[in-house]
């Protein structure tokens, strides 16, 4: 997955069309992020918030429809439920779309927090494709809220790899991070640990090891399972 970001900076002057040019000045920073996906089912994240209000952004407003096909789908996991939308006639329409394990309910105006992840499902996948995510930036760093006693699909919303182990505040004993297709990390109250597999004297051996870093590449999604703490990730 590749990311590129085009942002219009704060206090930029926007010229209107016509001979009589009217200038509009804004203190907001907005932008478009291009995400290049190489899988039919991709986990994508957002670095943006809702324009003007800077709150959580409705998912169907986040994903631009340009270049996409009817039947393409977006799926959000939130509050213990999957919600889905399908592209139909150039607009995202709430529908009980299939695409991930579990029951997918019809999506409405559910919003997604900055730093959270969602699935994009390509209806006719034959090659890499681009998604364009539109929204407003924030001057403060992105923060993913970790909900107590819940499964959370999160993602790195920055454009660089981040050691997420150094960014988590107030993790609870038993919290875990699962990178799809990768390693499961568990917090023991002091350190993040994982099972290290190695071959010693021709025998496979599995031992518990401490992770000094848990690096999440830009745009990569992961599961965070909270055991009751109030942890947050300040990217």
Which tens digit of pLDDT belongs to each residue from 40-97? 888 887 777 666 566 777 888 888 888 899 999 988 877 777 888 899 988 888 887 6
Q: What pLDDT, on a 0 to 100 scale, did the predictor assign at position 14? A: 30
Helix (DSSP H) and strand (DSSP E) numbers for the chain? 1, 24
Q: What pLDDT, on a 0 to 100 scale, did the predictor assign at position 199? A: 79
Q: pLDDT averaged over the chain? A: 75
Q: What pLDDT, on a 0 to 100 scale, did the predictor assign at position 155? A: 77
Q: Is the whole model's pTM more than 0.75, yes or no?
A: no
For the residues 105-109, what does the mean pLDDT come to? 70
Q: Whole-angstrom Cα distance, residue 62 to residue 228?
A: 30
228: left (phi over 0), alpha (psi -120 to 50) or beta: left
Do 123 and 81 meet the contact criterion of CB atoms below 8 Å apart? no
Q: What pLDDT, on a 0 to 100 scale, did the predictor assign at position 198? A: 79
Q: Whole-angstrom Cα distance, residue 180 to residue 93?
A: 28
Of the candidates 78, 69, 131, the one whose C-alpha atom is nearest the C-alpha of residue 102 is: 78
Q: Per the structure block, which two tokens stand in for 55?
A: 């709150």
Residue 117, Cβ density class (10 Å: 0-12 exposed, 13-18 middle, ≥19 buried)? buried
Band of the pLDDT at 194, cuts 50, 70, 90?
A: very high
Q: What pLDDT, on a 0 to 100 scale, did the predictor assign at position 83? A: 82
Q: Whole-angstrom Cα distance, residue 83 to residue 25?
A: 37
For the residues 11-16, what does the mean pLDDT come to? 32
């Amino acid at each position: 997955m590749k990311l590129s970001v085009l942002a219009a900076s704060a206090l930029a002057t926007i010229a209107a069309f016509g001979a009589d040019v009217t200038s509009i000045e804004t203190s907001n920073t907005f932008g478009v992020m291009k995400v290049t996906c190489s899988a039919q089912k991709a986990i994508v994240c957002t670095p943006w918030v809702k324009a003007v209000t800077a709150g959580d952004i409705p998912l169907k407003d986040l994903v631009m429809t340009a270049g996409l096909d009817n039947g393409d789908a977006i799926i959000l996991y939130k509050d213990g439920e999957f919600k889905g939308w399908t592209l139909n006639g150039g607009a995202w329409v709430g529908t009980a779309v299939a695409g991930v394990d579990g029951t997918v309910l019809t999506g409405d105006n559910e919003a997604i927090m900055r730093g959270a992840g969602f699935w994009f499902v390509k209806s006719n996948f034959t090659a890499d494709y681009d998604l364009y995510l539109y929204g407003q930036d924030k001057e403060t760093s992105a923060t993913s809220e970790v909900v107590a006693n819940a499964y959370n699909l999160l993602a790195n919303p920055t454009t660089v790899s981040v050691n997420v182990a150094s960014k988590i505040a107030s993790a609870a004993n038993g919290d875990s991070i699962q990178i799809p297709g990768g390693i499961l990390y568990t917090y023991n109250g002091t350190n993040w640990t994982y099972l290290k597999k190695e071959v010693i004297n021709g025998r496979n051996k599995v031992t518990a090891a401490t992770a000094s870093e848990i690096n999440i590449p830009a745009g990569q999604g992961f599961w965070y399972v909270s055991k009751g703490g109030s942890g947050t990730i300040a990217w």
